[in-house]
Structure 1
Amino acid sequence: MAVFFQSIQGVLVILVMIAIGYSLASAKWFTDKSGQIIARIVTQVALPMYMVNTITQDFTKDELGRLLPDIKFPIISMLVLFAISVAFARVLAIRKNRRGLFQSMFFNSNTVFVGLPINMALFGTKSLPYVLVYYMINTTFFWTLGTYLIQRDGEGEWRFDIKTTLAKVFSPPLLGFVLGVLLVVFRIQLPTFIASDLQYVGSLTVPLSMFFIGIAVQRAGLRNLKVNKYSLGILFGRFILAPMVMFLLLWKADVPILMKQVFILQSAMPVMTNAPVVASLYGADADYAAIMVTESTILSLIVVPILMTIIN
C-alpha cells in the first residue's frame, strides 16, 4: 500500500503541472502554435542539455557500459507487440485507412513527454539511462516501421527517405545522450559555467513537457473522447499487453530491479505524441490519433500507480 501511495504522489506531481498547462490553454494564454514551440524547446534545447548534465553528473563509465546489452528487451518487446497489433487489427476489423495508424499507436509509447517525467518523479535521476535506452529503441521503431504504417494509410505511395529517417532517429535528445556518454567515457570535465547552464536549462524539461500535454489535451477537447473498438484496442495494447510482454521478457532476467521497473513503465506509456503530426503530414486520420493521445495520456495517470503496486 505504501508503494501505491508513493506512486499516487509521483503522478499527482505530474497531474498538477498538466492541469496548469490545461488551465492556461483554456484561458487563451497559449496560441495554436504555442504547443509546437514548447515541444521544440523541450526536444531540441532543454532535453538534450538535461541529458548531458545528468549523465555527466550522476553516472560512471562502468555503469553506462552495462547498459548496452539491455537494448534487446525493448527491441524484442516492440517486435512482439507489432505482431500482436497486426492480429488485433484484423480481429477488430479496423478499417483499412486506419489500420497502419492503429498498429503504430499499439506498439509505440510516449517515452519522453510522459515517460521521462513520471520515471523522474518516481525513481529520480538514476532511472535516466534506462529511460534513454528505451527511448532510443522506441524512437527508431516509430520513425521507421511506425511512420511507414501511418503513411500507408494516407494518400500516395510510401517512399523511404533515409536522410529524413536518420535525422528523426538521431534527434537532439539522443545526441545529447551520446555526448554525455562520450564525456563520461573520456573523463572530460566541463567548465563550471557550462555545467550550470546545462542544469538550469535542462530543468525546464519536465514542467514544459507537462505544459505541452495540458495544451494538447485542451486542444483535443475532452468532449471528443470516445469509447469504441478503435480506442479500446489501443488502450488494451498500451496498458495491458505492452507491460505484460515486457514483464515476461524481464521475469527471469538477471538485471537490476530499477531497470525492470523503468522498462515496464516505459512500455505502458500512452500513445506517442508525434502520431497525430505524422498522420496529418501523410493524409491519415490525424483526429483519431489526437483523440488516442489524449485518452491514453489521461488514463495513464490512473494506470501508473496500479502498475507500480504490481511490479514492486
Structure 2
Amino acid sequence: MEMEPLLTTIFVMGVMIAIGALIGKRMPLTHDSRQLMITLIVNVGLPCIILHGLFQLPMTRELLLQIFIVFGLAFLLSCLGVFLGFCAARLQGVSMKKACEMAVVSGFGNTGTIGLPLCAALFGPKGAVLAAVFDAGMDLCLWTLGVMLLQEKRRVTLAGLKSLVNIPMMAIVLGLLLASLGLTPPPAPIKQLTATLAAIASPMAMIYIGMLLFDYLRQKRPLAISRMGAPLGIKLAVYPIAAALLITIFPLSREIVQVVAVQVAMPTIAIAPIVFARYGADEELAAMMTVFSTLLSLVTIPLVMMVNHMFL
C-alpha cells in the first residue's frame, strides 16, 4: 500500500474532525441535530457509497467469492479482537464482567462511518464494496457475540438480530441482487445521484465525529487511565497488527488484504456507548474509549499501516 495517499486521506479526515469540533463548540449537539446527522450519514451517505461502488463493478464469480471471504474474515477477526481484549483484561486482574466489557470495546471498530469512506478513498469502488461487507460481518459478530458478553444471561436476543436489518445492509443486498441480475450500471441519473450523495458521507461523518468528540470532552468525565490503557493498546495496535499478520498466512488477493488491514485498524465503534447503555454495561468506559481511540487513531492508523507494509 502506498503511504502517501493514506497519510493524505488521514490528514484530510483529521482536519474535518477538527472542523466538526469547532462547530460543536459554537453549536452543541442536541438530540434532534444528532438524529439528523446520523440519518443523513447512515441512511443516505453510506448506502450510496455502497451502491455507487457496486454500480461500477461487473458482478463476477471472483467478486462474489471475495465478498464471502471478507464477510467471514470480518466475523472471525472480530472474534480475535474480542479474545485479545478479554485476555488482556483478565491479566490485569479485573472481574469477569469488566473483562467482557473491555473485550467488546477492544474487538469492534468503527468500520462504517470511518472505515468505509477511508477504504473508498484509498481503493476506489471495489474497496468501498469490500469495506461495506467487512462492516456487515463485524455487525453480525457485535449483535451476537458482543451482545452476549454484555448480558448477565449469555444469549442471542431477537432485538439484537433485528438491528442487523438496516439501510446499509439493505443497500448491500439490493446492489448485489441488481448486479447479479445484470441490471447494472443503472440509468445515468441514478448513477449520478448515488455518486453525488456518496460524496457527502465522509465529510459529514468526520464533522459529526468531531462534534461528538467535543461534546464528550466538554463533559470532562474523569476516567482512570489504567482502565483504558489495555483496551486502547489492544484496539489500536496489538489487534490490527496481529490480524494483518494472520491473514498473510492465507492465499488471499491483495485487495482483500489491504481492505481488511485498514478495517481492523479502526477505532472503537461509535455506537459502543449506546449498546453498553442498552445492556446495562459501563457506558462511561464505552464513551471514553470511543473518544480517545478515535483521536489516537489519526496517529496509529498510519503507524500500523507502515508496520503492515513490511509484511503485506
**TM-score, normalised on structure 2?**
0.89
Greater displacement, 240-249 / 179-188: 240-249
The answer to whether the Cα contact below 8 Å between 2:143 and 2:164 also exists between their aligned partners in 1 is yes
| 1:107–1:238 Cα contact (<8 Å) kept | yes
Aligned to 2:138: 138
Equivalent residues in 2 for 1:217-232 (5 A)? 217-221=213-217, 223-224=220-221, 228-232=225-229
For structure 1, the residue ranges without an aligned partner over 5 or more in a row are: none
Residue 161 (1) aligns with residue 128 (2): no
Q: How far does residue 281 in structure 1 lie from its aligned partner after superposition?
A: 2.2
| 1:107-256 correspondence runs (5 A) | 107-152=107-152, 160-162=156-158, 164-189=159-184, 190-221=186-217, 223-224=220-221, 228-256=225-253
Q: Decide whether the 8 Å contact of 1:101 with 1:150 is kept in 2.
A: yes
Question: Deviation at 1:285?
Answer: 1.7
Number of equivalences = 306
Moved more, 34-43 or 258-267: 34-43
Alpha-carbon deviation of 1:38?
1.0
Q: Is the CA contact (8 Å cut-off) linking 1:73 and 1:246 kept in structure 2?
A: no
Contact kept? 1:4, 1:306, Cα under 8 Å? no
- Aligned mates of 1:307, 1:125 — CA distance in 2: 23
Q: Letter of the aligned partner of 2:36 in structure 1?
A: I
Letter of the 1:172 counterpart: I
Say whether the 8 Å CA contact 2:261–2:305 is kept in structure 1: no
Q: CA deviation at 1:104?
A: 0.8
Contact 1:109 1:270 in 2 (8 A): yes
- For 2:22, the aligned partner's letter is S
- Alpha-carbon RMSD: 2.3
How do 1:261-280 residues align onto structure 2 when only pairs under 5 Å count?
261-280=258-277
Following TM superposition, by how much is the alpha carbon of 1:180 offset from its aligned partner in structure 2, in angstroms? 0.8
Call closer, same or farther: CA 1:73–1:282 in 2, change over 3 Å. closer
Distance 1:243 1:16 in 2: 24
**In the TM superposition, what is the alpha-carbon distance from 1:97 to its structure 2 partner?**
4.9
- Contact kept? 1:151, 1:282, Cα under 8 Å: yes
Question: Could you say what secondary structure the match of 2:246 adopts?
Answer: helix
| 2: CA distance, partners of 1:69 / 1:118 | 20
Separation in 2, partners of 1:166, 1:56: 28
Q: Which moved more, 1:242-251 or 1:103-112?
A: 242-251
Aligned to 1:22: 21
Gaps of 5+ in 2: none
CA distance in 2, matches of 1:200, 1:148: 39
CA contact (8 A) 2:82 2:106 kept: yes
Residue 47 of structure 2 corresponds to 48
* 3-state SS of 1:234 partner: helix
1:303 maps to which residue?
300
Q: Is the 8 A contact 2:268 2:290 kept in 1?
A: yes
**Distance change (3 Å), C-alpha of 1:90 and 1:38:** same
Residue 174 of structure 1 aligns to which amino acid in structure 2? Answer: M
1:31-54 deviations in whole A, cap 9, x for unaligned? 344223211222122212321122
Distance 1:5 1:198 in 2: 28
Against the structure 1 CA distance between its residues 298 and 188, is the aligned structure 2 distance closer, same or farther, given a 3 Å change threshold?
Answer: same
SS in 1 for 2:245: helix
Structure 2 residue corresponding to 1:282, chosen from 258, 279, 283? 279
Residues 155-214 of structure 1, C-alpha deviation per residue, up to 9 Å, x if partnerless?
xx566432x233212321111011111111111143332333222222221111112211
Distance between the aligned counterparts of 2:52 and 2:84, measured in 1?
Answer: 38
